[in-house]
Amino acid sequence: MSRLRIEGLTHRYGLTEVLSGVGLRLPAGQTLALVGPSGCGKSTLLHLVAGLLVPSEGVIDNQFRNIACMFQQARLMPWKNAIDNIALGLKAQGMAAPARRARAAGLARALGLDADDLRKYPQELSGGMQSRVALGRALAIEPDLLLLDEPFSALDVGLKLTLYRHLRGEIDARGTAVLMITHDLMEAVRLADRIVMMAPDPGRMVHEFPLQRAHALRDDAWVYQTTGTLMQARAVRLGFGLDETSASQPVGEATTVRAAGCAT
């Protein structure tokens, strides 16, 4: 079974150490969310996993072979219309034009884009439609590892929930591993199997929270309750630079929060 293994990862920009001693495991079919404030090295870690940067020290053993990325900005090709943007990775893989357009059109329909939308160029699409196209492009190649760099942060709540449902359906259907980074703890609770809290100066992992409830059973009430419970954990409050005095648990304490369905 494919997996991602990181050990002793340290990265520097010049003399500035942005990541220190990072280690994690991500097996096939699991979603791992990295949560933390700006400057804790989340995006740098994702870029290292994607092969866009070479680590200063440590090991990145990535056995996944079909990797897709989705970023905060849609990063669509402005000279291609929506359907050709969705099919971009399929073209790179050598799929024939009729087949790749058929797959792209099917994904687009599932994401709420109609035939008129597919003929439009990025500058003619709303921000929400651009995000749908970007998600379709990432999913079209049926990745075994999907890297998400806060792609939903600028979207309204309704569209977020729509894209969450489609993303979760694709992940469950194909056994895709997902490494996602977010500032939004509630988003992590909705989507992830495990949440890792990071802290800055230098970026490091301070605690992991496994989420035990099946995704199909995560209704809004559970998501809100679990997010509220995690916000009281000392590791989370320290990571986000919040007042420690109201924290309910010290960093590293292995207490099960049964009401929230997660181990902290």
> What confidence tens digit (pLDDT) does each residue in 139-172 have?
999 999 999 998 888 788 888 888 898 889 888 9
What average pLDDT does range 218-222 have in this prediction?
95
Q: CA 245, CA 259: separation in Å to the nearest integer?
A: 22
What average pLDDT does the segment 109-125 reach? 93
**Percent of the chain at pLDDT exceeding 90:** 71
Q: What is the CATH number of the domain that holds 233?
A: 3.40.50
Q: Give a yes or no: residue 238 inside a domain.
A: yes
Q: What is the structure's pLDDT at 179? A: 97
Q: What is the pLDDT of residue 253?
A: 35
CA distance linking residue 169 with residue 6, whole number of Å: 27
Contact status, residue 45 vs residue 125, Cβ threshold 8 Å: no
Is 44 part of any domain? yes
Mean pLDDT, the chain, as a whole number? 89
Q: Show the CA angle centred on residue 144, arms to residues 264 and 102, nearest 5°.
A: 130
Give the dihedral of Cα atoms 30, 53, 188, 114; nearest 10 deg: -90
Please check whether residue 154 lies inside any domain of the structure. no
Instruction: Using CB atoms within 10 Å of the CB of residue 56, give its burial: 0 to 12 exposed, 13 to 18 middle, 19+ buried.
Output: middle
> Which of left, alpha, beta for 201 (phi over 0: left; psi -120 to 50: alpha)?
left
Tally Cβ neighbours within 10 Å of residue 175: 13
227 belongs to a structural domain: yes
Number of Cβ within 10 Å of residue 108's Cβ equals 23
Q: By C-alpha distance, which of 220, 7, 29, 42 is closest to 148?
A: 42
pLDDT-based confidence at residue 241 (cuts at 50, 70, 90):
confident
Q: What is the pTM of this model?
A: 0.89
Structural domain boundaries enclosing 241 = 3-65+187-263
Contacts 24+ apart (CB under 8 A), 119-122: 119/81, 119/82, 119/83, 120/81, 120/82, 121/78, 121/79, 121/80, 121/81, 121/82, 122/74, 122/76, 122/77, 122/78, 122/82, 122/85
In this structure, is residue 243 part of a structural domain?
yes
Overall number of domains in the chain: 1
| Number of CB atoms found within 10 A of residue 71's CB | 15
Q: Is residue 168 part of a domain?
A: no
Q: pLDDT band at residue 183, thresholds of 50, 70 and 90?
A: confident
Cα–Cα dist 155/165, whole Å: 14
pLDDT, position 122: 95
Q: Is residue 100 part of a domain?
A: no
Residue with tokens 């997902």: 178
| Position 247 in a domain | yes
